[in-house]
Chains A and B, each alone.
Chain A
């Protein structure tokens, strides 16, 4: 029964648990977080089971309600969706372990609704990844977005305004996507992705089809925070609670990037997106501008979470550059960067959470050598993740930038190559700022009791270390990942 239903089980289990959580934790509120952790662990196991089923390149489909496509809704499990689902569920699991230590402090008296919203968020993210129907994707997109608005709004004082702005812009993006689905249905008469691919390949290109493509891509670019549609991101990541930032930053923008990959390469196909209209070029230049903008603005920030937020804008730009190159190397670089960035940003936001928990703030001008004495483990995790973001081998970040650069060279696109190299230097600048304050400046031996805690609790330290040292493992094993998994999901026609 599990193998028959396995594509659909991951969103279903998280949905059922999210609904049952208020009933289960009605009397005993402390049950909420352990139950969430258990469900997340089950989702990790199921996603590894799924990828074990499909990694040879096969595709497994699941028909809801027994109705066959194109009439019914179909869930599609192919190596790309299984791979991204694995990445997302693993990062979420470690972030949830970390949440166990700080949930009571960050969202007092509201842990039950908060955990239910986390489960709904994960349900929406997994549903977007596994579904094979464009309207079902809109439904899960809204589940995922609404849970995100709620998760952000319980943060600091200004978090409600950040969440409100995210709501307005997110609904704008989702409505554009829905309008695009409407145009697509009028032109093709089908909502199933495999069916759409068949039909779009044979019909003549007409303005309605181009309008559908443009609207869907704009909507998804808004959710992905591709420059210049990134306005909601800095405030939302900064003012949210630490767990929310560590969940949304690795996962939120990546699922939108995944939807772009599906739409651009698997549904519409290279013939339209490259040859007929220069859509990929536009995305590429917007992404390149975003990379430079994000890196430059990150240098100017005084607060660590805000700096990481602008850095995320830059990293999303890398994924956009990889997609716009439209050759196998660039595509591999983009997908590998989805994996690497999820782990890197997850680790960095967890470090920021630890610093806020330990010293009550994460403002960079106030960092000094006490941090390296009191929190050696946390700063080590920070250092490994920062080296990976800059792109130093053998950390994983180097390899995704390597593939992106190879793709740019293959296409003789020297602008992109220059952008990738310059931004790596800019990344180095804003991390060296923190290293200088923590490691290089001598601390004076005054009293250290301004720090709230003596050393980091284990429950906060271990997930951070796991996420950040697995970057070394991912870097060393990246040839296995590329040749065995990612190379099998290169879209047709590249």
Chain B
């Protein structure tokens, strides 16, 4: 079971794409998109873990600084950026959803496509 993290990432990815593609409500599509982004973030974080290593802050009790005692911090920094990007995308997406609701009075994709066609 050493791949437990990666298996759960795969499950989350599937759930996210299922939500984005197969659900008709726009907000459910957005939830699926958020789950997808979170799954990618989890993938990076899961790849940073080392056995028997601690958080990447220098600790004098471990003696001379040796990278073998600390987990890899690079993926964490990359994921800070990815989280911010996710927040910005969610902000834009929800603003668009509110505008769609105000203009078309529905958030269901099928009815929306019909109403888009009429002028």
Contacts and interface: CB of A to CB of B under 8 A. Distances in A.
Q: Do chains A and B touch in the complex (CB under 8 A)?
A: yes
B47 A186 contact: yes
Interface of B: 13, 17, 20, 26, 29-30, 33, 36-37, 40, 43-44, 47, 74-75, 78, 81-82, 85, 88-89, 92-93, 96-97, 99-100, 103-104, 112-113, 116, 119
Given A139-B85, A164-B26, A167-B92, A179 B43 contact: yes
A168 B47 contact: no
Interface in A149-187: 149-150, 153, 157-158, 160-161, 163-164, 167-168, 171-172, 175, 178-179, 182, 185-186
A142 interface: yes
Given A164-B93, A178-B82, A146 B36 contact: no
- By secondary structure, the B interface counts as helix
A441 B45 CA distance: 66
Interface of A: 135, 138-139, 142, 146, 149-150, 153, 157-158, 160-161, 163-164, 167-168, 171-172, 175, 178-179, 182, 185-186
A179 B40 contact: yes
B36 A164 contact: no
A172 B96 CA distance: 17
A171 B33 contact: yes
Contact of A161 (B33, B82, B116): B116
B96 A164 contact: yes
B68 to A, nearest CB: 15
A100 to B, nearest CB: 27
27 contacts: A139-B81, A139-B85, A146-B88, A146-B89, A146-B92, A149-B92, A150-B92, A157-B103, A157-B119, A161-B116, A164-B26, A164-B93, A164-B96, A164-B97, A167-B92, A168-B29, A168-B30, A168-B33, A171-B36, A172-B20, A172-B33, A172-B36, A175-B36, A178-B82, A179-B13, A182-B75, A186-B47
A398 to B, nearest CB: 38
Contacts of A139: 81, 85
Nearest to B45: A182
Given A172-B20, A175-B36, A178-B40, A158 B96 contact: no
Contact of B116 (A142, A158, A175): A158
Contacts of B44: 182
B103 A160 contact: yes
Contacts of B36: 171-172, 175
Contacts of B100: 160-161, 164
A430 to B, nearest CB: 22
Contacts of B96: 149, 153, 160, 163-164, 167
A471 B100 CA distance: 40
Contacts of A186: 47
A140 to B, nearest CB: 11
Given A142-B89, A164-B93, A171 B47 contact: no
Q: For A138, A157, A168, A175, which residue has the most chain B Cβ atoms within 10 angstroms?
A: A175
Given A164-B97, A171-B37, A182 B47 contact: yes
A326 B51 CA distance: 44
Contacts of A149: 92, 96
A185 to B, nearest CB: 7
A70 B51 CA distance: 25
Closest 6 CB pairs of A and B: A158-B116, A142-B85, A164-B96, A160-B99, A186-B47, A160-B100
B98 to A, nearest CB: 10
A63 B15 CA distance: 40
Given A175-B36, A186-B47, 19 more contacts: A138-B82, A139-B85, A146-B89, A149-B96, A161-B104, A161-B112, A164-B93, A167-B89, A172-B17, A172-B33, A175-B37, A178-B82, A179-B40, A182-B40, A182-B43, A182-B47, A182-B75, A185-B47, A185-B74
A409 B33 CA distance: 44
Contacts of A175: 36-37, 40
Contacts of B82: 138, 178
Nearest to A163: B96
A144 to B, nearest CB: 12
Nearest to B41: A178
A161 B113 CA distance: 9
Contacts of B17: 172
B9 to A, nearest CB: 9
Contacts of B47: 182, 185-186
A186 B75 CA distance: 10
Nearest to B117: A158
Contacts of A146: 88-89, 92
B76 to A, nearest CB: 13
Contacts of A153: 96, 99
Nearest to A139: B81
B24 to A, nearest CB: 13
Contacts of A182: 40, 43-44, 47, 75
